[in-house]
Structure 1
Amino acid sequence: MVKLMELEWRKLKRKMILSELIIYWGILMFLPMFFIKMVSAEFGQSYSTIIQLMMSMQLGFVLFGASLINQVVIDEYKNKTISLSFGYPISRKKLVMAKALFISLFVFLCTIVSFLLSGVTTYLLDQAFHIINGQPTAEDITSYFSKMIVHSLIVTLISLIPLFFFGIWKRETIPTILCAIFLMQFQNFSFLLNVNLNTNIVNTVLCSLGVVSVYLSIKMVDRVGDI
C-alpha cells in the first residue's frame, strides 16, 4: 500500500500542487488577524475566541482536497492513464484505496502544517501590534493543539465527500470543486438563512458522508470504474 501511495506522489503534478499549497498557507497565516481588523473585532476579545475563528477558516483545505481528487482520480480517467493502473496485477479496489489514503494523508498533514503556521503567525502579529486582548494561557495552547488534531481529521473526512459521486462515478472537475466550496461554506449558509445548527452534529454527519464516500469508491469501482 505504501508503494502504491508513493506511486501516486510521483504521478502528481507536484509543482502545481505545491504552488497551490503555498497560496493556501499564505492566506490562512494572515487571515485571522485580517478578519479581526477588517470584519469583526469581537473575535479579538481573547485567544479562546480567535481559536474558534481559526478552526472554521481551516475548512479551506476541503477545497484543496477537491483539487487532489481532480488530479489523482478525475484527470487519470480523462487522460486514460488510469487504464495502465488497472492493468497492474493488483485489484482495482486496492488501487482506489491507495488513492483515498494518499489524498487523506496529504490533506491531513497539510492542514496540520497550516494550523501551526497560522497559530505562530497570529501570535507574532499580536505581539507586534497588540490586536488580541490578553495573552494565551496554557489552557488556550492545550486547547489549540488538541483541536488542531481533531479538526484536521474532520477537514480530511469532509474533503473526501465528492470522491465517489463526482470522482469515481461522474468524473467531473467543476462539480467536484463546487461541492467542496459548498461543504466548506455550509455552516455560513446556515447562519445567513438564520438556521441554528449544532456544529458537532453537522461535523459528525459530514464526516460520516466522507467515510461512506470512500467505502462506496472502493466497493463500487469494479462497477462504475470502467473507462
Structure 2
Amino acid sequence: MIKLMELEWRKLERKKVIGELIIYWAILTFLPTFFLKVVFADLPTADFNQSYSNAMALMLPIQMGFVMFGASLINHVFIEEYKNKTIALSFGYPISRKRLVTAKAMFIVSAVFICTVISFALAGIATYALDRALGVIAGEPSLADIAVYAFRAIIHSLVVALSSLIPLFCFGLWRRAVVPTVIFAVAIIQLPTLLNLIQISVNPDAMYATLCLLGLVSAYLSVLTVNTLGDL
C-alpha cells in the first residue's frame, strides 16, 4: 500500500502541488494574527486576544482551510485521471481497483494530515513571534497551553484530513466535477458560520466527529462502487 501511495506522489504535477501548498501555508500561517490584530481588535464581544488559551479557539478552525487542499488533491488524483483517461491505465495494473482507490484515498488523507500538522506548527510559531512584536495577545503561553495546542493540532489535523474526503465519492468518482468539489470543500470550511447564520447551535466536537464520519463513509462508498462506475 505504501508503494502505491508513493506512486500517486510520483504521478502528480509536483511543482504545481507544492506551489499550491506554499500558498496555503503562507496564508494560514499569518491569518490568526491578522484576525487578532485587525478583524477582532475593536469587537468587544471577541475575547480571542485575552489569553493564549482563548486564541486557540480561533487558531484551530482556521486550519480547516486545508480541506481546500484536499479538494485539490481529489482533482489531481482522481478527476484529472478520469478526464485524461489515464485512470484506465492504472486500472490495468494487476491490482484490484478497490486496492488502488484505497491507496489513492490514503494518499490524500496522509498528505492533508501531514501538511496540516506543519501548518499548525508554522501558525503557532508565527503567532507567538508576531505577538512578541505587536502585542496582540495578553499574557504569555504556559506549558499547559503549548501542550494543549500540540495535542489539539494533531487531533484537528486528522479531522481536516478525513473531512477532505467528503466530496470524494459524489464529485470525485461519480460526477468527476472539479467546481462542485471545490464548492463543497468551501461549504465544509464555512459550516460553523452557516450554522450560526441559520441559528443552529451545534457542539463543535460533535460537528467535527460527524465530518470525520462522513469522510470515512465517502471513502468507503468510493472503494465499494469503483468497479461499477466505469473508466470514462
**Distance between the aligned counterparts of 1:225 and 1:44, measured in 2?**
53
1:199 pairs with 2:204: yes
Partner of 2:231, secondary structure, is coil
Partner of 1:38, secondary structure, is helix
Partner of 2:166, secondary structure, is coil
Is the contact made by 1:93 and 1:219 (CA closer than 8 Å) also made in structure 2? yes
Rate the CA distance shift 1:91–1:179 in 2: closer, same or farther, 3 A.
same
Is the contact made by 1:93 and 1:221 (CA closer than 8 Å) also made in structure 2? yes
Moved over 3 A (4+): none
Per-residue displacement from partner, 1:52-81 (whole Å, max 9, x unpaired)? 101000000001100000000000000000
Alignment of 1:28-177 (within 5 A): 28-41=28-41, 42-177=47-182
Letter in 2 for 1:108: F
Match of 1:182 in 2: 187
1:25 pairs with 2:25: yes
Is the contact made by 2:85 and 2:231 (CA closer than 8 Å) also made in structure 1? no
Give me the identity figure in percent: 56
Is the contact made by 1:168 and 1:225 (CA closer than 8 Å) also made in structure 2? no
Q: Shift in Å at residue 31 of structure 1? A: 0.6
Is the contact made by 2:113 and 2:160 (CA closer than 8 Å) also made in structure 1? yes
**Distance between the aligned counterparts of 1:194 and 1:170, measured in 2?**
32
**Distance between the aligned counterparts of 2:12 and 2:231, measured in 1?**
22
Rate the CA distance shift 1:226–1:159 in 2: closer, same or farther, 3 A.
same
- Structure 1: where are the runs of 5+ without partners? none
RMSD: 0.8
**Distance between the aligned counterparts of 1:175 and 1:131, measured in 2?**
38
Rate the CA distance shift 1:211–1:194 in 2: closer, same or farther, 3 A.
same
Per-residue displacement from partner, 1:121-150 (whole Å, max 9, x unpaired)? 000111112111000011100100000000
Partner of 1:131, secondary structure, is coil
Q: Shift in Å at residue 226 of structure 1? A: 3.0
Q: Shift in Å at residue 39 of structure 1? A: 1.1
Is the contact made by 2:87 and 2:231 (CA closer than 8 Å) also made in structure 1? no
Letter in 2 for 1:177: V
Per-residue displacement from partner, 1:66-97 (whole Å, max 9, x unpaired)? 00000000000000001100111110001001
Count residues with an aligned counterpart: 227
**Distance between the aligned counterparts of 1:179 and 1:123, measured in 2?**
33
Partner of 1:80, secondary structure, is coil
Partner of 1:132, secondary structure, is coil
Q: Shift in Å at residue 221 of structure 1? A: 0.4
Letter in 2 for 1:49: N
Rate the CA distance shift 1:43–1:174 in 2: closer, same or farther, 3 A.
same
Partner of 1:7, secondary structure, is helix
What is the TM-score with the length of structure 2 in the denominator? 0.96
- Structure 2: where are the runs of 5+ without partners? 42-46
Match of 2:44 in 1: none
